[in-house]
Amino acid sequence: MTKTSSNVTGVSFLMLSALIFSLQNIAVKWIGGDYSILEIVTFRSLIALPFTLLFYRYEGKRGLPTTQRHTLEYVRGAFLFLSYTTHFMGLAALPLADVESIRFSAPLMITFLSVVMLGEKVGPRRWLALIVGFVGVLFIVRPGSVTFNLGSIFILISVLFYALNVMLTRRLQTTDSSATMAYYSSLVYLVAAFVLAPLPAIVGGIPDAHPSIAFLLRAWTMPTFLDWIIMSGLGLVWAGGMYCMARAYSAAQASVVAPFEYVSLPINIMWGFVIWQEIPTLMTLAGAFLTLSSGMYILYRERNGR
């Protein structure tokens, strides 16, 4: 396979993964008004866990995934659990376009943490890009305005924990395979969801709670057959999306593939309009443009080693 065809294959798989992951947003937003996010995470993890073993077999290995770095794996799993949970808490209160626009501040957060935690050097141009991206986030979140939504804060928290996960993944990828990391993160998801399951009963119902808070504290209920299928399907969606993403980055250079992750924004805008008649505001579009532009510039600078 030529370099060009490999890049085309990688980009194709990346765009397919973006489409698959958008289905996850739709499913959670669709049933989120009736169930707790912890209940949804539990069902999703129960279905996803066996698929991590299939990935492990696909890597040519046998038995259960093992690691010599259990602490890092568990901490990484906790970061992912917090990122996943807060992401969908925000999704319960925000239009899909706002969620995706804020989520694309992840490259900015990763670059910032790389400087703070890893001591990486960043030039003045990338610092300027970080500032521009931060301004873009402010456009979308609009703190202090009458349109401010607490869900935006949960998406930003999700981005922070995702960036912390990336920091740990960079350390773990030298010794642990992708399937091993997926296996341990799914285990942490299950344990965390079960540990927090009594939280709604302990705290009790909060009258007129914000949709994000209500999503977390809602009591567990027996899902209907259709909703059980949807919750279980989240595990299949996760497995399919992760497989396509892994294929994308294995078939082509990361610097070629990574910019195409931004295709998920128009995909989610489309779903938001088609299903919920959501139309992004001009401020959201302006903020998304600034955030995406700064993120793309940072990727460009990293690709050229500057």
- Whole-number pLDDT of residue 82: 93
- Its sign, for the CA torsion 43, 167, 70, 154, is negative
- Whole-number pLDDT of residue 190: 87
Q: Could you tell me the pTM of the whole model?
A: 0.83
Residues 6+ positions from 32 with CB-CB distance below 8 Å: 40, 88, 91, 92, 215
- Whole-number pLDDT of residue 4: 65
- Which of 39, 15, 18, 19 is closest to 230 using CA atoms? 39
Say how many domains are in the chain: 1
> Tokens 């370099």 label which residue?
3
- Whole-number pLDDT of residue 158: 93
pLDDT digits (tens, 9 = 90+) for 204-259: 667 778 889 988 888 888 889 999 888 888 888 877 777 777 677 667 665 567 66
- Whole-number pLDDT of residue 301: 65
d(CA 273, CA 263): 16
Containing domain of residue 189, as a range? 3-303
- Whole-number pLDDT of residue 3: 61
Query: Judging by beta carbons within 10 Å of its beta carbon (0-12, 13-18, 19+), is residue 28 exposed, middle or buried?
Result: buried
Residue 267's alpha-carbon distances to 16, 61, 181, in angstroms, are 11, 36, 28
Residues 6+ positions from 198 with CB-CB distance below 8 Å: none
Residues 6+ positions from 132 with CB-CB distance below 8 Å: 290, 293, 294
Strand locations in the chain, DSSP E? none
- Whole-number pLDDT of residue 302: 61
Task: Render each residue's pLDDT in the chain as its tens digit; 306 residues.
Answer: 566 677 788 788 888 888 888 898 899 888 888 888 888 888 888 888 888 888 788 777 877 888 888 899 999 889 989 998 999 999 988 999 899 888 878 777 877 887 777 777 777 877 787 888 888 888 888 887 777 889 999 999 999 998 888 788 778 878 887 778 888 888 898 889 888 888 877 776 677 788 899 888 888 888 899 998 888 888 888 777 777 776 776 676 655 676 677 788 888 888 999 998 988 888 888 888 888 788 777 766 665 655
pLDDT digits (tens, 9 = 90+) for 150-166: 999 999 999 999 888 87
Q: Are 265 and 288 in contact (CB under 8 A)?
A: yes
Look up residue 85 and give its amino acid: T
d(CA 155, CA 139): 14
DSSP state of 212: H
